[in-house]
Amino acid sequence: MANPTLLILAGDGIGPEVMAEVKRIITWYGDKRDMPFDVTEDLVGGCAYDKHGTPLHDDTMAKAQEVDAVLLGAVGGPAYDDLDFSVKPERGLLRLRKEMDLFSNLRPAQCFDALADFSSLKREIVAGLDIMIVRELTSGVYFGEPRGIHTEGNERVGVNTQRYTESEIARVARSAFELARRRNNRVCSMEKANVMESGVLWRQVVTEVHAKDYADVELSHMYADNGAMQLVRNPKQFDVIVTDNLFGDLLSDAAAMLTGSLGMLPSASLGLPMANGRPKALYEPVHGSAPDITGQGKANPIACILSFAMALRYSFDAGSEADRLEAAVEKVLADGARTADLLGPEGGSPISTTQMGDAILAALDASL
């Protein structure tokens, strides 16, 4: 059978620095676990603009559509701040998401025990936390028409439209139920059915999809405002949360911060299955290009490495290998390895991006 294919788009700023550590881990899987990947690399973001005058060349877009999974580092930086909106680095990322139709955005909020004191919440509330937020990514109020700013009488009016079709709700609900089956089998759906018709439809469709195909999964519903409160009151009550684009944007950022540093947060964006059964997929850390620390060897590569662990689990059906990689990360943190962003108020001496990669590779070796 042909090797699985990966397109690496390391991007700008610290993107190439953190991706360099992921590449070493990909090589490790080929050498030590007999899981060779065919890897191609290309440009996205500011570096693509510098070379091609566009943040995502059509050839790169075409490659992204062909591979089994795309791994992205980060895009953007101060050098590109004044570019026209149509060629800003972020447009490259948005084009990938749109043309690959990546409607299901998975943002895990997982609190490694060694970092529980980093959370703004008490240790006992977050230690051992492991929840997954599934955010609808390609529809809802960020895309709905009509939109714009117009004048009515003597004042300006801003308009955005929350719009969801049944099929858009059903496919992201399916994605959440499928995910729950691989985890603790519970889904909580969040909307505002008390005040929004789109929320009423959301609740109806999620309930119908559940009854038809996923009755074995435990389903609950919650108003999104209560959900926000519950996330900070008792986040461990959740397993998988599924919600729309706007609420998901807010809830996933709040949940992310339960776990401490931005340098620790992976994500996956999934679309419909391809001919080979694998979903269209893009994996990327939540953080940006961190221009303030670029080129200094300070970046924490863990978010990018955990994004590759998500690829192992969701694109390559290698859940036990994803567990192995996550356990290696957990071990190095428990042993006290810290990049600068992970130093607490008590300080200590940080290790570099490469040294963190070394430590994780050593923990992987030790796992064999």
- Give long-range contacts, CB 8 A cutoff, 24+ apart: 196-203: 196/162, 198/140, 198/162, 198/163, 198/164, 198/244, 201/164, 201/166, 201/169, 202/164, 202/169, 202/244
Query: Is 317 one of the annotated active-site residues of the chain?
Result: no
Q: Is 87 marked as a binding-site residue? A: yes
| Footprint (CB under 6 A) of ligand NAD, residues 37-96 | 74-77, 90, 93
Q: In the annotation, is 216 catalytic?
A: no
126: contact with ligand NAD by CB under 6 A: no
Measured between alpha carbons, how far is residue 155 from residues 95, 147, 158, 160, 231 in Å? 34, 16, 10, 17, 38
**Residue list 245-284, contact with ligand NAD (CB under 6 A):** 262-263, 284
Distances (CA, A) of 260 to 126, 256, 323: 10, 7, 21
Among 21, 121, 341, 364, binds ligand NAD (CB under 6 A): 341
Site residues for ligand NAD, 173-212, by CB under 6 A, read none
Q: What does the alpha-carbon distance between residue 105 and residue 291 come to, in Å, rounded to a whole number?
A: 25
Rounded-to-integer distance, Cα 43 and Cα 93, Å? 11
Catalytic residue among 249, 283, 314, 341: 249
Where do the DSSP E strands lie in 97-233? 104-110, 130-136, 144-152, 155-161, 186-191, 218-223
Strand partners, 267: 284
**Rounded Cα distance, 201 and 222, in Å:** 14
Is 115 a binding residue for ligand NAD by CB under 6 A? The answer is no
Q: Which stretch binds ligand NAD (CB under 6 A): 103-111, 157-165, 185-193, 287-295?
A: 287-295
Q: Is 68 annotated as a binding residue?
A: no
The CA R_g of the chain, rounded to the nearest whole Å, is 21
By CB under 6 A, tell whether 290 contacts ligand NAD: yes
CB of 246 to ligand NAD, least distance (A): 18
Member of 299, 305, 351, 360 binding ligand NAD (CB under 6 A): 299
* Binding of residue 350 to ligand NAD (CB under 6 A): no
The footprint of ligand NAD on this chain (CB under 6 A) covers a number of residues equal to 22
225 is catalytic: yes
Q: Which residues contact ligand NAD by CB under 6 A?
A: 14, 18, 74-77, 90, 93, 262-263, 284, 287-293, 299-300, 303, 341
Which residues are identified as catalytic? 142, 192, 225, 249, 253
Annotated binding site for Mg(2+): 225, 249, 253
